Amino acid sequence: MMQDCLVPERISNLLRTIWIGKNMIYLDTIDSTNSESRRRAAEEAEGTVILAEQQTAGKGRFGREWSSPKSKGIWMSILLKPDLSSIKIPQLTLIAAAAVCLALDERSLLLPDQQVKIKWPNDIFLAGKKIGGILTEMQVRDNKVQSVIVGIGLNVNLGEEDVSGDLIDKATSLYLETGRVQQREPLVAGILNYFESLYLQYLTTEELGETLTICRQKSAVIGRKVDMTGEKIGQAAEVLDLGPQGELVVKLDNGEITSLISGEISILLQDE
């Protein structure tokens, strides 16, 4: 399948943002847009978006590799310099996940029986498989957040040839699930538009507000039994809700109700 390259001007024309994406750096090939944002963090303005056609060393959470074939997905990073305490930074992952869902819904790209889901905190799921993910990284100096990089990956037009091997049961793309090749530019713009609006809401109110509503509505885990790995290693739990800070409220097997913040754990749906 031949893939068109992104045209940054076409994205810019669709932006309704005040500052996110106003500075857009478009690259053909890079190791990782997150790594590149980090290298440029000191000199580039807040809201700078780095977008690449392909990544040669795309990164996922927990040091995993993120496959980013040329011109088939959205591989981008948003550079932020918020005046927030570091404990509030993981919330930006939820904001990005909500923005991706809203952008997909706005474009009505999915089939009538399909619903995009968020597997807390950072996986975007469609039809029980992963179509996207968020990787939020921050630089902290003297206890102060210097910069935050919100990396967003979305498998748009990946074909069967791109999700073979290990990925086959786990990953999919919009194209594979809907049978239609999708234009990437309006989706990029949509994600950035929604991201800015939810992010500004968060900065001004210090509450997740609408993000929380969307993450609850789209949750792939609320009401489900999960296995957790991490600090509470090996524990099984039932997910009850998302708390006001976006934390996962779970009931452990021993009946204890506790909340978990992202970064602490990784969860596996029990029938996965």
Pick the stretch among 62-70, 89-97, 162-170, 240-248 that binds ligand BTN (CB under 6 A).
62-70
For 31, other C-beta atoms within 10 Å of its C-beta total 14
Task: Identify the residue among 6, 15, 32, 138 touching ligand BTN (CB under 6 A).
Answer: 32
CB of 221 to ligand BTN, least distance (A): 15
The tokens 């990089």 sit on which residue? 149
Q: Is 125 a binder of ligand BTN (CB under 6 A)?
A: no
Whichever of 145 and 156 has its CB closer to ligand BTN, that residue is 156
Whichever of 17 and 153 has its CB closer to ligand BTN, that residue is 153
Q: Is 53 a binder of ligand BTN (CB under 6 A)?
A: no
Determine the 3-state secondary structure of 258 from DSSP: strand
Give, as ranges, the residues between 190 and 249 that touch ligand BTN (CB under 6 A).
none
The tokens 């991706």 sit on which residue? 100
Task: Identify the residue among 15, 21, 59, 145 touching ligand BTN (CB under 6 A).
Answer: 59
- Asked if residues 239 and 224 have their Cβ atoms less than 8 Å apart, the reply is yes
Number of residue whose CB is nearest ligand BTN: 133
**Cα–Cα distances in angstroms (integers) from residue 208 to residues 47, 212, 248, in the given order:** 19, 6, 14
Calculate ∠ Cα 210-214-218, nearest 5°. Answer: 175
CB of 135 to ligand BTN, least distance (A): 4
Whichever of 46 and 238 has its CB closer to ligand BTN, that residue is 46
> Each residue of 214-241: b (16+ CB within 10 Å) or e?
bbeebbbbbebbbbbeeeeeebebbbeb
Q: Is 135 a binder of ligand BTN (CB under 6 A)?
A: yes
Total number of residues that touch ligand BTN (CB under 6 A): 22
